Chain A
Amino acid sequence: MDEVKILPMEEKKKRSLNFVKLRFYLLMVITIILIFISIVAPYMVPNDPYATDIRGRNLPPSQEFLFGTDSHGRCVFSRVLIGARTSISAALMLVIITFVIGTTIGIVCGYYGGWIDNLFMRIADILLAFPDIILGIAVAGIIGGGLFNAMLALGLTGWTQYARVARSNVLTMKEDTFIQAARLSGNSDLRLLFRHILPNIIGVLVVIATLQIGTMMMGIAGLSFLGLGVQVPQAEWGSMVNSGRSYLQIAPWISLFPGLVMMVTIIIFNLFGDALRDFLDPRINNSS
């Protein structure tokens, strides 16, 4: 007769721990590969992504054109690859910039309080009252379209997330004993903020940042889809989906593949964010 094996606590912990770690490392590798592909894309495209060929328009996927061709006869596969560069690098850059600015504002607001805190938090409240896309349309209306302006429009509200989380974390942490002890050790305010407080709250913020990559990518693609972001003929997933819109019935691959790739990319980044959160959570993974 089989004996039911009961795993000791330690063993159980070890197993779940391994899963969390494994998932994190796996997704990290996939994410790195993705970013790597976006960087080397110009050197691995099979066809010139900008070469038009009026006779070879709307061709279905074949060996030569893996994802088919669009209404101007351009290779969709090559354009998706090149577009990865625009989409991923723009989203990454946007996240990094908003992360740095938002975090700095947040911890300064939380630590000093007073009028600085009031000023920035009210600005954040106002910005959060606008839907991203509406604000993007407004910005594009005022200063024109283009990738940079689209990023500006998204960045305008993007920093508020980090600022709010950083601020609330600093508020609870600044009364901690070790902060008082650090002050007695002669640390300056600046050192206190960036050497003692920041390392203790950065985990949460990094997780938000990773999850924001997908959101930002979607935002940029959304604005491009509306014609307010990246302008044609430059390849970008959102604008590519848009350009295939009128051929959906005769050549669905023009919109389908950029959309599919975008979906997969965003899912990977979001999964990576989730895995990172679990990885950093001391309750789930307390070996780090």
Chain B
Amino acid sequence: MLEVNDLRVSYGHIEALHGVSFTVAEGEIVTLIGANGAGKSTTLRALSGLVRARSGQVRFCGKAITAVPAHKIVALGMGHVPEGRRIFANMSVQENLELGAYLGDSRTLAADLEAVFGRFPRLRERRAQLAGTLSGGEQQMLAMGRALMLKPKLLLLDEPSMGLSPLLVQELFETIVEINRRGTTVLLVEQNAAMALDIAHRAYVLETGRVVLSGPAADLQDDPQVRQAYLGGHAV
């Protein structure tokens, strides 16, 4: 579904990604893990068109998208929940969700809203409330709900667990698995590598703008190098 080949991105004269390659197949949960500054968020931002790749190819559902503007990539079926959630704080919960369906068919809006409210009942309770007044966990639900309004084929999640309590993180990851089970492919970027590897099928490890390791998530969980660097533990 997604093929990334030798992707390079620069900010000014500084190259942030030095040729990143990976693939995501339909139905998978794939996770990119790595330390702060490894280039995980930049990779997602390049996929959804928020930053331009300097070179390299991205193919999404068979279509080259490196030169496609961000708003058209959304239309192709890629949803992106950005780092820090980036909800529209001064608008109501419902308005945020309606913006998620900006490109959608207005005739299915009510049904799509219902579907999201079904998945996140808390959002229904707070539909008229200003989004900026929600708790961190609710804001994350809203950001995900907003991206799901268009029923994307591929959902990019950037650090969804950031700033949430362990209990909420647990709940959030169950939701991600559930969304995946219902047919949405997921590309997950996480600093919480242990949780990410728990739910992912495959994983790539990024270090300073390069993929240094990849494989089935279960294998990486047992990899001594990964355990040492990202799981904060010692080999059992």
| Co-complex (A, B) | no
Chain A residues close to B by CB (< 8 Å)? none
